[in-house]
Chains A and B, each alone.
Chain A
Amino acid sequence: MQTTEHIKLPAGSLEKQTTTLNLGPTHPATHGVFQNILELDGERIVDAVQTVGYIHRAFEKIAERRPLYQITPLTDRMNYCSSPINNMGWHITCERLLGVKTPKRVDYLRIIIMELARISDHLICNSIVGVDTGAYTGFLYVMQYRELIYEIYEEVCGSRLTTNIGRIGGFERNFTQTAFEKLEKFIKEWPVVLAEFENLFTRNRIFMERTIGVGPISAERALNYGFTGPNLRAAGVDYDVRVHTPYSSYEDFNFTIPVGTTGDCYDRYLVRNGEMHQSLELIKQAYKKVQEFKGAEAEVYHADVPEYYLPDKKMFTQKWKRSFTILK
């Protein structure tokens, strides 16, 4: 165990040296994995030693021996608030390695699922920052509506949290009518809830006082530390991989990238909220595009990669019946 040394405080301070406080192991991201040993000058953190190694599940080692499709469930566990995005990341990587080109309908369906996952993930981040600053209502309220997203996952792939959604080349089955109905329900009900959620926080005096200027980071420092995603954009860097290196046909869509200025907690909150609005727009656009497919095109849910799909069961019964009649 690594420990910190007390830091001597300058003459005239109330205390002679900093106080050591053990924080955690606690779960800012996943369960019980993050411990900080803090050096405190009053309420201000001067130094910290982190331990991040409480859960290492050796995914890299396990993946050495597994076939590609058995690695997908491992990617669920990388961030279980948005496992579909990780699943898709893995599928798209494999497809690029195998040289598989996915049909447009698959891409659009994937975008629906990925943006739903983005909303459910940002929802956790933004409502939990509310809990951490003393407002529990927002969290409990939006969790009810995250259910709507989970019900869509459940309809599409059968599971809710660690989804293992999709296969290399597309989805394991086509979206059912119920899935689309649930999606419509979400598109209809969600904006009202998001507006109410923003009313609770965005201009809330207590929330602003507790987040503005907390944990700011400059764009240069954020880049140097390898920040990505909303945290990098909150620091003022307008980099979004969906725009700069589009995958899964993101280039067919029209959306904006919210960017912050100071990179503090409040900016990160605003960027995530802005992204939730953009995700909803993306879902609407993608759903419209999916509806435009008619006839046989509307039945396409995976690329032509027979190695990763079971053949049509109907085909088998027919063959079996035929051979049966010949035998007779």
Chain B
Amino acid sequence: MTNELIKQKLTEKFGDQLIDWEEPYGMLTFTAAKDLNLKVLQYLFDDVDLKFKFLTDLAAVHYPDRKGEELAVVYHLHNLIDNIRIRFKVFTDVVKPDVFSATALYSSANWMEREAYDFYGVNFIGHPNLIRIQNVEEMEYFPQRKEYPLEDQSRIDKDDEMFGRGGSFGPGNERAYNGTISEEDKIESN
């Protein structure tokens, strides 16, 4: 079983509906239309030669710059018998992010799809229990999307005193506040 053979078998079955064939670091990677994801997974699972029975990982990715296909769902599949791994992506738009659920094929997809829903808002159609898994139920947004950047680490307007980090008026922040060097620091620098 080689990457070429997998590619050949998949192309025979699906023709040019599978695109973007790549082999970064030796791992075969391709993209399919989002309506096709279950058919491809089913074929990879059932075929007597391919035997991709193990779903290593399922994750979502947010590409804010790709208009019309902002969200990707990435499947990492593993054939344990021939010890070969492939990666398979489907893209969906962010407005109506509906993707078919793989839970009927892989039980492991259950929690991973819940996670992808929780953090990226991918709506997995056919999932038995698509609720948030890590965040609180009341949350109204999807925190891993790129429109929620991390807080700037260098901001100084926040009072960290409650967390034992000196706070805005504690030691270490004098310079940020009054713009002068304390006497102690002067002695040290000499």
Contacts and interface: CB of A to CB of B under 8 A. Distances in A.
B50 to A, nearest CB: 15
22 contacts: A2-B131, A53-B132, A53-B133, A53-B134, A56-B134, A56-B135, A60-B144, A61-B150, A62-B150, A97-B25, A221-B107, A223-B53, A223-B80, A224-B53, A224-B107, A226-B54, A226-B55, A226-B56, A226-B106, A237-B80, A239-B80, A245-B83
Interface in A216-262: 221, 223-226, 237, 239, 244-245
A64 B132 CA distance: 22
Interface of A: 1-2, 52-53, 56, 58, 60-62, 64-65, 96-97, 221, 223-226, 237, 239, 244-245
Contacts of A239: 80
In the complex, the 7 A-B pairs of residues with the closest C-beta atoms, listed nearest first: A226-B108, A53-B134, A56-B134, A244-B83, A224-B107, A225-B107, A65-B150
A65 B131 CA distance: 28
B134 A225 contact: no
A96 B26 CA distance: 11
B184 interface: no
B56 A58 contact: no
B170 interface: no
B76 to A, nearest CB: 10
Contacts of A221: 107
Contact of B25 (A65, A96, A223, A245): A96
B137 interface: yes
A52 B134 contact: yes
Contacts of A53: 132-136
A56 B128 CA distance: 23
Interface of A is mostly: loop
Given A2-B129, A65-B153, A239-B80, 5 more contacts: A62-B150, A97-B25, A224-B53, A224-B108, A226-B107
Contacts of A224: 53, 106-108
Contacts of B64: none
Nearest to A49: B129
A223 B54 contact: yes
Interface string B20-32: 0000010000000
B190 to A, nearest CB: 19
B80 A58 contact: no
A60 B80 CA distance: 28
A226 B25 CA distance: 23
A225 B119 CA distance: 21
B144 A1 contact: no
Interface string B106-142: 1110010000000100000000010111111100000
Nearest to B83: A244
A224 B111 CA distance: 13
Contacts of A96: 25
Contacts of A225: 107-108
Contacts of B111: 52
Contacts of B25: 96-97
Contacts of B129: 2
A230 B136 CA distance: 32
Contacts of A52: 111, 133-134
A55 to B, nearest CB: 9
A293 B150 CA distance: 46
Interface string B78-90: 0010010000000
Interface string B129-167: 101111111000001100000100100000000000000
Nearest to B57: A226
Interface in B22-74: 25, 53-56
A61 B80 contact: no
A239 B53 CA distance: 13
Contacts of B106: 224, 226
A61 B144 contact: yes
A30 to B, nearest CB: 14
A237 B78 CA distance: 14
Contacts of B137: 1
A244 B133 CA distance: 33
B108 A58 contact: no
A17 B2 CA distance: 54
Contacts of A1: 137
Nearest to B105: A224
Contacts of A97: 25
Contacts of A2: 129, 131
Contacts of B135: 53, 56
A1 B107 CA distance: 23
A61 B137 CA distance: 20
Nearest to B110: A225
A301 to B, nearest CB: 26
